[in-house]
Amino acid sequence: MANQLGSIVETIKSKVRAMRVRTRKPYVKIDKSSSVKVEIRSRKAQKLIDETMKEMVLCYYIHLTLDP
């Protein structure tokens, strides 16, 4: 039983090694399209706006609590 298990494990290991060797093909990197670039810029801008708004709200509440 243990001998069969060992041979099964070795078979699986060799198949995994063979798959690794076959999958290491060079690939061509595809450039981002203009719409994807616009989407990335839009997300970055929205993130910056959100951070700015959070700071403004925080400053506003601090101003309200300190101003008697």
pLDDT tens by residue, 5-59: 888 888 888 888 877 666 566 777 888 899 999 999 999 999 999 999 999 998 8
DSSP notation for 2-62: HHHHHHHHHHHHHHHHHHHHHH----PPPPPPHHHHHHHHHHHHHHHHHHHHHHHHHHHHH
The pLDDT score that the predictor gives to residue 66 is: 75
